[in-house]
Structure 1
Amino acid sequence: MYRKVFASKMYERKVVLVTGGCAGIGRALVLRFAQAGARLVIFDLEQETLDSLVQHLSSHHNVEALGLCCDVADAERVEACVAQAIEQFGGIDVLINNAGVTHRSTFADTSLEVFKRIMAINYFGAVHCTQAALRSLIERNGQIIVMSSLSGFSPLLYRSAYNASKHALHGLFETLRCELKGSGVGVMLVCPGFTATDLRKNALIGDAAISAQPPLAMGRVASAQDVAEAIYHAALKRKRLLVMSNVDWRARLLARYFPRLFERVLLPRMSGVKRSASHR
């Protein structure tokens, strides 16, 4: 009982910054940390939606929250928003790099604009936020949580730019973890499987337009709430890596040690296409 009570208080009054915090896994994380009594800083792109979420947190969870309209791809805006959060709350205890975008198009059909946009948000967005918050995180023995994907360790068809951004995150934050050894700052990479969010619904296509096709069927799909709950408990334990339960362990094993077998057996199914189907 003591351990449960202690765990429930670990984030009380702590300052948790969530990027892309108004929808999907980001919103679920905001609500989960609010339940634990944390003070929230939320970055997203629409101020009206941010204001609504901040009001909800105040009225339903009685927690302080600051919603800031911030494009994480804009380094100057990120720096200003992080500075505002630190000025208002005194510092940052947990940074959750969650903001992201995906696409669905072959490499040959994917414009350079799409590659740049995905890297700007998925990778450089995390770089900008982490650089801006790092001093405060070190001062407060904080945590950095990075939303990766099953594509961080295995390929997925028609997502070359997205996969590249996730591999880049692993390279960056695994190195940063080593550099921060002894500083008291924890770094956790999170690899969810397919999750019921708007990310796939808002996938880009090769010319940077939003896909008009419905999301592809990809096997077991987790809820954003279940993913957030798992992340919260992993954060309590200050884990280094969290691979969600709906990520097929065979995919990890085969992709690493038997890549040709993975490409033949699991890659088409995980990518949501039939083996004989051509991509459109």
Structure 2
Amino acid sequence: MPRTAVVTGASSGIGEATAHELADEGLDIALAARREERLESIAGDLEEEYGVDAVAVPTDVRDEAAVDALIEATVERFGGLDVLVNNAGLARGGEVAELETEQYRTMTETNEDGVFFATRAALPHLVESEGHLVFVGSFAGQYPRPFNPVYAATKWWVRGFAHSVGAQVGDQGVAVSVVNPSEVRTEFGGAEGASFAERFERGSVTEPIEIAEAIRFAATRERSGVSEIDLFRRDKFADTMN
């Protein structure tokens, strides 16, 4: 059974819910995101509620050295690493002709570079533990998203990278999974307008706990690996026809 997990983007939404699910499974948790106070609060909640050891490691996943330090600190504190959840991600902009270079780079550096840095740093430890590597993908990584092509492209990259890494390290005992949500009621998307939590009423789209439960399932298989889980809003495919 896995013992230790790193969750990126852990300060809210899917990441926070995932930390709770994995702590409920008995895993010690390293929480990574940029909001230190929020991480400290969540770590305290996990320790009090589940009796696990939880540590806040403020991390900007775009910073290669910071990500390396995150994995090193986790291994040093807990003696190893069994699960990495690559959850940190963001969306900026929309129309390609109007997208500023800074917005483009922020998306690719977070959604692609950050995932690469964390995966690279964690893999030797996951090979040692025969652990689990879980990527939070997206509906946008499987179907065209005309209203935000660059974000969609980053999620296609995540999915392709994940499955290719799985092919590379599967024979070394590492299980690699991709969990693909459609809209989830979180703070996501709020930097330049209403967040999903503000745009959607409760019950109209997926809640973070639903995605976290899928991540928990993928990250705790004893002798098998879950390749991919799609959790789409029930009417989501109607979007592809319009």
Q: Report the TM-score when normalising by structure 1.
A: 0.79
Q: How does 1:163-202 map to 2 (within 5 A)?
A: 163-200=152-189, 202=190
1:134-193: CA deviation from partner (whole Å, max 9, x where unpaired)? 100000001100000000110123211210110111221111111113100010011111
Q: 1:132 aligns to what?
A: 121
Which of 150, 174, 193 is the aligned partner of 1:212?
Answer: 193
- In the alignment, residue 226 of structure 2 is paired with which amino acid? K
Matching residue of 1:244:
231
**Structure 2 partner of 1:18:** 7
Is 1:234 aligned to residue 229 of structure 2?
no
Cα pair 1:107 1:158 within 8 Å, conserved: no
For structure 1, the 5+ residue unaligned runs are: 1-9, 203-209, 256-261, 267-280
Task: Give the match's secondary structure for 2:97.
Answer: coil
Query: Whole-Å Cα distance in 2 between the matches of residues 20 and 141 of structure 1?
Result: 23
For the 8 Å contact 1:188–1:241, the answer to whether it is kept is yes
Taking the TM superposition and a 5 Å limit, the aligned residue runs for 1:1-280 are 10-11=1-2, 14-200=3-189, 202=190, 210-213=191-194, 215=196, 220-237=204-221, 238-246=225-233, 250=237, 262=240, 265-266=241-242
Indicate if the aligned counterparts of 1:142 and 1:186 stay in contact, CA closer than 8 A. Answer: yes
1-structure distance, mates of 2:215, 2:59: 23
Structure 2: gaps (5+ residues): none
Aligned positions, number: 236
Cα pair distance change 1:51/1:188, threshold 3 Å: same
Q: Say if 1:20 and 1:44, in contact at 8 Å, map to a contact too.
A: yes
Deviation at 1:225, TM superposition (A): 0.9
Matched AA of 1:28: A
For residue 248 of structure 1, report the CA deviation from its aligned partner.
5.3
3-state SS in 2 of match to 1:124 = helix
Indicate if the aligned counterparts of 1:21 and 1:43 stay in contact, CA closer than 8 A: yes
3-state SS, counterpart of residue 66 of structure 1:
strand
1:222 counterpart letter in structure 2: T
Q: Sequence identity of aligned pairs in percent?
A: 28
Q: Counterpart amino acid of 2:214? A: A
User: What amino acid is the match of 1:59?
Assistant: E
Partner Cα separation in structure 1 for residue 195 and residue 219 of structure 2: 33
Q: Deviations over 1:117-143 (max 9, x none)?
A: 001111111100011111000000011
SS of the residue aligned with 1:243? strand
